[in-house]
Amino acid sequence: MKESIHKYLKVGLISFMAYPSTMRGEEPKVAEFIKKIATDDYFDAIEVSWIKDSSLRAEVKKILDVSHLTVCYGAQPRLLTTGSNANHLDEEERLKAEATLIEAIDEAQQLGAGGIAFLSGKWKAETKSESYAQLLKTTRKLCDYAKSKRMNVELEVFDYDIAKSSLIGPAPYAARFAADMRMTHNNFGLVVDLSHIPMTYETPEFVVRTLRPYITHFHAGNTVCSDPSAEGYGDEHQRFGFPCGANDTAQLLEYLRALKNEGFFNAENPYVFSFEVKPWKDEDPDVVVANAKRTLNRAWALLED
């Protein structure tokens, strides 16, 4: 493409993946990491998560208020680090997950985000329909609460049998869930992640086309999922170019092409398109982030006008 990617997409970074020590909401250096992103004008958006210390949260808010970044809030760490499940069949456990996600909406509002994103929980084949009903119950409650604050709720599509083993996807099942949600709530949408597409045995074109009416947000990253014996197997969001990785420049180009073909390049109101990349072992987070920017620059340069 001859024109800048920033005309058509808000390029973002998921801060809690790039700097994974922040995942549990207890990193004392979180403001330092947020500032590093906020001072990098490559980024138009940032995705933050819970910050348990109110004074640290206030410090981060000051940075975000000045930054002119679009702020997004990922509530996934609240569930993943605590083992919470938004579609748990035990009603008491489901309500625990619902409660932390309600708290996430409040915290997202404090930080200037327009909503939250979360993920579905684990499931079993014999109780899949019951899990689906539980997830609808949780998501509708979240959407009701978010709507009272003029905020949105997004569900990220994950793998169903490799790493997170989430109820939602694959894409056709995610489409069914989103259609059910949109019957009652217009402030619901889906997050599609390039990292998860190989893990649901699908292609970017198929996923984007299938979920076209419901997508509100995009993630991009890598995964190792073809060989269970390979280093980093599972949903680890490694850097592009990682050994045995499923995604690199060619797959990122295919993803961008699918977005372009399905009309997601919107100069008037760009969608957020965030890197979800995580350092592997002792890799330097800043080098991993630079890798992602370099890979996106190359893929964008190869995309046809």
pLDDT digits (tens, 9 = 90+) for 1-23: 999 999 999 999 999 999 999 99
What pLDDT tens digit does each residue of the chain (305 aa) get? 999 999 999 999 999 999 999 999 999 999 999 999 999 999 999 999 999 999 999 999 999 999 999 999 999 999 999 999 999 999 999 999 999 999 999 999 999 999 999 999 999 999 999 999 999 999 999 999 999 999 999 999 999 999 899 999 899 999 999 999 999 999 999 999 999 999 999 999 999 999 999 999 999 999 999 999 999 999 999 999 999 999 999 999 999 999 999 999 999 999 999 999 999 999 999 999 999 999 999 999 999 99
Per the structure, the count of domains in the chain is: 1
The answer to whether 153 touches 139, Cβ cutoff 8 Å, is: yes
* Separation between Cα atoms, residue 84 and residue 135, nearest integer Å: 12
Residue 197, phi then psi, degrees to nearest 5: -60, -45
Ordered DSSP codes for 239-273: PTT-TT-S-SHHHHHHHHHHHHHTT---SSSPEEE
Domain residues for 281? 5-302
Instruction: Rounding to the nearest 10 degrees, give the CA dihedral for residues 103, 121, 208, 15.
Output: 50
The answer to whether 239 touches 291, Cβ cutoff 8 Å, is: yes
Query: Can you give the pTM of this predicted structure?
Result: 0.95
Residue 13, phi then psi, degrees to nearest 5: -135, 135
Judged by DSSP in three states, 91 sits in helix
Q: Which residues contact 294 (CB under 8 A, 6 or more apart)?
A: none
At 11, the amino acid letter reads V
CATH assignment of the domain containing 95: 3.20.20.150
